[in-house]
Amino acid sequence: MTEVVRVAGSLRNRLAVTLVGGAAVLAILLFVVVRNYAAQIAQAGQDQIIGASVSSILDAAVVRDGVVDVDFPYASLSMLSTEFDDRVFYAIYQDDAVISGYDTLPRSDIAANTDRQYETVVFDGVPVRLASASRTLIGAGFRTNIVVSVGQTQDALSGTLNGISRNVALFGAGFFALATLIAFWATSTTFGQLQALTTAITRRGPKDLRPVVKPIPAELAPLVSSLNSLMARLNQSLLQSENFITEAAHRVRTPLATVRSHAETTLHRVERPENRQALRAMVRAIDESSRAAGQLLDHAMIAFRADNLDQQDIDLGALVQELLVQLTPIAEMKDIDLEMTQDGNAAVRGDPILVQNALRNLIDNALKYSPAESTITISVSDVPTAHVRVCDQGTGFDPDEIDDLAKRFKRGTNVAGIVGSGLGLTIVEDVAHAHGGKLTLENQKTGGACVTLSF
Amino acid sequence: MRYLVLLALWVLPMLAHAQDWEDQRMFGVDSSPTMRIISSTDTSFFAPIIESFLAERPDVSIEYLVTGTADLDQIFRASPAEFDVVISSAMDLQLKLANDGFAQRIDDITHPAWAQWRQSLFAFTTEPATIVINKAAFAGQDVPRTRLELIQALRADPDRFRGRVGTYDVRQSGLGYLFATQDARASESFWRLTEVMGSLDARLYCCSGEMIDDLADGTIAVAYNVLGSYAQARQDTRDKLEVILPSDFPTTMMRTAFVSRDTLQPQTAADFIRHLTIAQSQGADLASFPLPPLITELDAAGRSRIALEPALMTYLDRLKRRTFMREWESAIIQSPSAPSQ
Ligand SMILES: Nc1ncnc2c1ncn2[C@@H]1O[C@H](COP(=O)(O)OP(=O)(O)O)[C@@H](O)[C@H]1O
């Protein structure tokens, strides 16, 4: 059943790649989205604190005797302490001038009376988050705009973000690993069904063409139903072939038998020796062709029977004896002795019709290729395994072609006028293979062929 | 080239001399590369630490330059490349220097989070501001334990204390300003005490040392917000003076050190800071180092220290300083003829 199948790609791999790839994309998406969200929240948190600091400084701004004073509380800057000791910068502007704090802090362009505005600037070479707010102070004949900006470096923010990123990355990796596991589990259970179906069909005998009845998943239903119908058609055509062969055998043999009986009747009537000679040759030719046709049909029959062996207990000894009874008259015509030796009880399980056919072919060959007044020895034994050996005193096999003689229609160079089809040994070998046995051809040292059918 | 080097060698000390240092001393072999430390701490307190460092690192020499905290800030800001290590008791000025980017990060020093800032400013002492009295002046009288008791004692006998009360001149001393602002932040009693001291013609000092000198010879009877460590360290005054930790609320300062961002010897300077923090951590050999150690745990009274945080810059703010100075001056200098030393 190991036919070569053209394989292009794998459904399982494709499914696994799709699932795993999808999981990877989702994991990355998760990471990016959560990180961005976390970054926004963390930035909002920092902004809130800087903004509160700005408000508390701005709230402290008052005009005293025409001079702006900003007596801001300790907490204004104290609230900016972070775990990462972020640097803090601030500036207080009155109209266009810096009245306190860092003179070089980038000035935010903020409209008058604006409540908190945030931006990220670069100061002293580092990114600084800057919050600003402004307020107009009004005194007696006095109106001035105060802007307060407070900046903070982003070490703690990036520290927090790195922590979150690490956690989200771990989470994403875990998600990915889990999704991958599930993907592999899903594909293997899915394709497990397919595998189970394949095994069920592979395990069947070669002639088991019953439809698949085991429950199968819906997706496999079309495949299995077309498989079932294919098998049904196959079964049908096999039956037809078998019938056809039986029919054909019948149709060929019956007219031949009729012709033969006519020829024999005529042989009794004619007197002239040359006519009798011709008729005898005719009868022999009819026999040979009937045998050849028989062999052809046997070969075809064996090919079919071999696929669906009838398993019975066969006693090889008894089978050979039965054959000898049938063949002894033929042997006597050539003055050939058929000798049989039996050693042990050689029993095999198999199809008796096939085995008998094979053995008949072997003994037939021995008779065909043996000279008159010789002996054919048939030995049956169960050591080392059950086997039947037929040895004759004929010409033996040509060593050059001994390996090829069992091939279909192959005849040897030693046939010289002996009628045959080249199918005899083929039939024997097919029978041997169908029973798990083998056919061995060899020459005896003393001359003559030895053919062994062993099981 | 050689002449240039010689010229530089000749000119550099001249430049250094151009500055008026309170003290200036070389440690170690002259020929070796010199690391310059600018500090507000008296040389005698620091010499043992420097010497123990040089014992481990004989390949360097150290020039130790002493000046007041406020001057130190100005000098260093003007030429940060000339100094390798900066040591000061004015935590606010030090923190601002670090915040302004003058300090270098040293990542491989492990120091408690509250005792360092940005891994660049490292605290190495814990020193409370104290009231120091001349025992003789308080003979037969209860020794004041809190600021309120001090106020009461001064008010009870103004004639005895007139002209005999001393405290920092916050205009000159960075440390005095730090103590005063932290006191003012903690309690209103600071202003009352300042007013009382002002009404008694308080003497104002630039430095703890001079205040203790005057206490020892009886010129003044009581000094407020003095570094107790200075009084305790001096053998000659130990019997005459008593150091009182005000039990109402403490003001505890930490001396801090950092490596200049522009130092040419970052490795040596970092090694020095490491040596300093280890030598000053509790459990180190205290007997051989006169500076008070860094106390890593709060004491039983729950005294807190001034936190190393950006909020220290609050009172360095121009407007805040202007306001504080105005209030302080009007409290302490009540007659125009008051001494402003
Ligand atoms: N007993 C035997 N002695 C010698 N040659 C044999 C014998 N049996 C078979 N052969 C050779 O093997 C060939 C194939 O035999 P087989 O398949 O039975 O066909 P065939 O109809 O020619 O006998 C024969 O043509 C013959 O050359």
Most confident of A52-56, A302-306, B154-158, B246-250: A52-56
Looking at the structure, do residues A136 and A258 belong to the same domain, yes or no?
Answer: no
Looking at the structure, do residues A263 and A325 belong to the same domain, yes or no?
Answer: no
Q: Is residue A420 part of a domain?
A: yes
Looking at the structure, do residues A247 and A110 belong to the same domain, yes or no?
Answer: no
Query: Does residue A46 carry a pLDDT above 70?
Result: yes
Which residue's CA lies nearest to atom 25 of ligand 1? A411
What tokens appear for A315 in the block? 């006693």
CB B94 within 8 A of CB B178: no
For residue B326, how many C-alpha atoms fall within 13 Å in the half-sphere facing its CB?
A: 8
Helices (H), A344-394: 352-369
What is the Cα–Cα distance from A17 to A34, expressed in whole angstroms?
Answer: 25
Mutate to test the interface with B, among A67, A68, A74, A89 (most CBs of B within 10 A): A74
Q: Is residue A181 part of a domain?
A: no
In terms of phi and psi (left: phi > 0; alpha: psi -120 to 50; beta: otherwise), the region of A10 is beta
Tell me which amino acid residue A65 is.
Answer: D
pLDDT at A69: 92
Sort out which chain B residues have CB atoms less than 8 A from A71's CB and list them.
319-320, 323
CB A139 within 8 A of CB A102: no
pLDDT at B301: 52
Beta strands in B246-303 (DSSP E): 252-253, 256-259
3-state helix, strand, coil in chain A (%, to 5): 50, 20, 30
Query: Does residue B90 carry a pLDDT above 90?
Result: yes
What tokens appear for A288 in the block? 């040979």
B112 close contact with A: CB closer than 8 A: no
Q: Is residue A193 part of a domain?
A: no
For domain B2-126+254-294, which architecture applies?
3-Layer(aba) Sandwich (3.40)
pLDDT at B258: 97
Nearest CA in chain B to A98: B318
* Phi, psi values for residue B194, rounded to 5°: -60, -40
User: Residue A334: pLDDT band by 50, 70, 90 thresholds?
Assistant: confident
The rounded Cα A446 to chain-centroid distance in angstroms is 55
pTM for this prediction = 0.68
Cα separation values, B316 from A97, B91, B174, B322, B334, Å: 19, 11, 10, 9, 25
Annotate A237-258 with three-state secondary structure.
HHHHHHHHHHHHHHHHHHHHHH
What tokens appear for A345 in the block? 């009880």
CB A95 within 8 A of CB A144: yes
What is the Cα–Cα distance from A200 to A1, expressed in whole angstroms?
Answer: 13
Instruction: For residue A448, give the ligand 1 atom closest to its CA.
Output: 3
Chain segment A224-256, per-residue pLDDT in tens? 899 899 989 988 887 887 778 778 777 887 888
CB B119 within 8 A of CB B105: yes
Instruction: For residue A394, give the ligand 1 atom closest to its CA.
Output: 3
User: Residue B10: pLDDT band by 50, 70, 90 thresholds?
Assistant: low
Q: Is residue A407 part of a domain?
A: yes
* Phi, psi values for residue A303, rounded to 5°: -55, -40
What tokens appear for B275 in the block? 């040596």
Between B310, B318, B319, which is nearest A88 by CB?
B310
Q: What is the mean pLDDT of residues B173-202?
A: 93
What is the Cα–Cα distance from A70 to A60, expressed in whole angstroms?
Answer: 5
Query: Does residue B35 carry a pLDDT above 70?
Result: yes
The residue length of chain A stands at 455
CB A88 within 8 A of CB A102: no
Query: Does residue B6 carry a pLDDT above 90?
Result: no
B105 close contact with A: CB closer than 8 A: no
Q: Report whether residue A153 contacts ligand 1, using a CB cutoff of 6 Å.
A: no
What is the Cα–Cα distance from A297 to A114, expressed in whole angstroms?
Answer: 109
Looking at the structure, do residues A227 and A252 belong to the same domain, yes or no?
Answer: yes
Burial B3-27 (b: 16+ CB within 10 A, else e): eeeeeeeeeeeeeeeeeeebeeeeb
Between B119, B307, B323, which is nearest A71 by CB?
B323
A94 close contact with B: CB closer than 8 A: no
In terms of phi and psi (left: phi > 0; alpha: psi -120 to 50; beta: otherwise), the region of A418 is beta
Looking at the structure, do residues A292 and A346 belong to the same domain, yes or no?
Answer: no
Sort out which chain A residues have CB atoms less than 8 A from B322's CB and list them.
69
A103 close contact with B: CB closer than 8 A: no
Q: Is residue A123 part of a domain?
A: yes
Lowest mean pLDDT segment, chosen from A149-158, A294-303, B169-178: A294-303
What is the Cα–Cα distance from B305 to A17, expressed in whole angstroms?
Answer: 62
For residue B59, how many C-alpha atoms fall within 13 Å in the half-sphere facing its CB?
A: 5
Nearest CA in chain A to B99: A87
Looking at the structure, do residues A132 and A231 belong to the same domain, yes or no?
Answer: no
Most confident of A253-257, B4-8, B93-97, B230-234: B93-97
A188 close contact with B: CB closer than 8 A: no
* DSSP label at residue A387: E
B2 close contact with A: CB closer than 8 A: no
Q: What is the mean pLDDT of residues B52-74?
A: 93
How many CB atoms are closer than 10 A to CB B106?
20
The set of residues, in sequence order, having a beta carbon less than 8 Å from that of A215 and lying 6+ positions away, is none
Q: Report whether residue A421 contacts ligand 1, using a CB cutoff of 6 Å.
A: yes
pLDDT at B287: 66
User: ipTM, 2 decimals?
Assistant: 0.87
Sort out which chain A residues have CB atoms less than 8 A from B100's CB and list them.
124
Distance between Cα A411 and ligand 1 center (Å):
6
User: Residue B339: pLDDT band by 50, 70, 90 thresholds?
Assistant: very low
Higher pLDDT, A323 or B31: A323
For residue A114, how many C-alpha atoms fall within 13 Å in the half-sphere facing its CB?
A: 14
Instruction: For residue A422, give the ligand 1 atom closest to its CA.
Output: 19
Looking at the structure, do residues A296 and A315 belong to the same domain, yes or no?
Answer: no
What is the Cα–Cα distance from A194 to A223, expressed in whole angstroms?
Answer: 11
What percent of chain A clears pLDDT 70, i.e. is strictly above it? Answer: 98
Distance from CA of B2 to the nearest CA of A (A): 38
Q: Is residue A7 part of a domain?
A: no
Between A68, A74, A100, which is nearest B311 by CB?
A74
Between A81, A83, A85, which is nearest B311 by CB?
A81
Query: Does residue B4 carry a pLDDT above 80?
Result: no
**If you average pLDDT over every residue of chain A, what do you get?**
88
Q: Is residue A330 part of a domain?
A: yes
Instruction: Return the ∠ at Cα A237 (arms to A234 and A241), rounded to 5°.
Output: 135
Higher pLDDT, B278 or B284: B278
Write the CATH number for A377: 3.30.565.10
Nearest CA in chain B to A76: B311
Looking at the structure, do residues A342 and A330 belong to the same domain, yes or no?
Answer: yes
Q: Write out residues 41-70 of A within 8 Å (CB-CB) of B.
A: 68-70
Between A78, A89, A124, which is nearest B309 by CB?
A78
Looking at the structure, do residues A380 and A275 belong to the same domain, yes or no?
Answer: no
Distance between Cα A438 and ligand 1 center (Å):
17
Tell me which amino acid residue A30 is.
Answer: L
Higher pLDDT, A405 or B194: B194
Q: Report whether residue A448 contacts ligand 1, using a CB cutoff of 6 Å.
A: no
Chain segment A256-290, per-residue pLDDT in tens? 888 888 888 888 888 888 888 888 888 878 887 77
User: Residue B285: pLDDT band by 50, 70, 90 thresholds?
Assistant: low
Instruction: Determine whether A304 is exposed, middle or buried from the number of CB atoms within 10 Å of its CB (0-12, 13-18, 19+).
Output: middle
What is the Cα–Cα distance from B193 to B133, expressed in whole angstroms?
Answer: 16
Beta strands in chain B (DSSP E): 23-27, 34-39, 61-66, 85-88, 116-117, 121-123, 127-134, 165-168, 203-205, 222-227, 241-244, 252-253, 256-259
pLDDT at A1: 42
Domain extent at residue A148: 16-162
Which residues are bridge partners to B218 per DSSP? none
Tell me which amino acid residue B310 is.
Answer: P
Q: Is residue A6 part of a domain?
A: no
Residue among B256, B259, B257 at smallest CA distance from B35: B259
Looking at the structure, do residues A275 and A357 belong to the same domain, yes or no?
Answer: no
Q: Report whether residue A369 contacts ligand 1, using a CB cutoff of 6 Å.
A: yes
Number of domains chain A is built from: 3
Tell me which amino acid residue B323 is.
Answer: T
Higher pLDDT, A300 or B148: B148
Instruction: Return the ∠ at Cα A313 (arms to A307 and A317), rounded to 5°.
Output: 110
CATH 3.40.190.10 residue window(s) in chain B: 2-126+254-294, 127-252+314-332
Q: Which helix (H) or strand (E) element contains residue B119?
A: none
Residue among A274, A276, A249 at smallest CA distance from A263: A276
pLDDT at A59: 94
Which residues are bridge partners to A63 per DSSP? A68
Instruction: For residue A413, give the ligand 1 atom closest to its CA.
Output: 27
What is the Cα–Cα distance from A247 to A226, expressed in whole angstroms?
Answer: 31
Q: Report whether residue A415 contacts ligand 1, using a CB cutoff of 6 Å.
A: yes
Between B99, B101, B185, which is nearest A74 by CB?
B185
* DSSP label at residue B188: T
B327 close contact with A: CB closer than 8 A: no
Distance between Cα A420 and ligand 1 center (Å):
8
Q: Of A284, A308, A332, which one is at a domain's C-terminal end?
A: A308
Residue among A410, A416, A368 at smallest CA distance from A392: A368
Looking at the structure, do residues A240 and A374 belong to the same domain, yes or no?
Answer: no
Looking at the structure, do residues A279 and A239 belong to the same domain, yes or no?
Answer: yes
Q: What is the mean pLDDT of residues B277-303?
A: 72
Q: Give the residue, out of A359, A415, A441, with the most ligand 1 atoms within 8 A of its beta carbon, to mutate for a pocket test.
A: A415
User: Residue A307: pLDDT band by 50, 70, 90 thresholds?
Assistant: low
Distance between Cα A333 and ligand 1 center (Å):
20
pLDDT at B222: 95
What tokens appear for B76 in the block? 């260093």
Chain segment A71-113, per-residue pLDDT in tens? 999 999 999 999 999 999 999 999 989 999 999 999 998 888 8
Q: Of A289, A308, A327, which one is at a domain's C-terminal end?
A: A308
CB B66 within 8 A of CB B39: yes
CATH superfamily for domain B127-252+314-332:
Periplasmic binding protein-like II (3.40.190.10)
* Residue appearing with tokens 């002046």: B137
Cα separation values, A35 from A19, A162, A418, Å: 24, 9, 95
Would you call the peptide bond into B128 cis, given omega within 30 degrees of 0 as the criterion? no
Residue among B278, B298, B172, B286 at smallest CA distance from B233: B286
Q: Of A252, A280, A308, which one is at a domain's C-terminal end?
A: A308
Residue-wise DSSP of B54-72: HHH-TT-EEEEEE--HHHH
What is the Cα–Cα distance from A259 to A261, expressed in whole angstroms?
Answer: 6
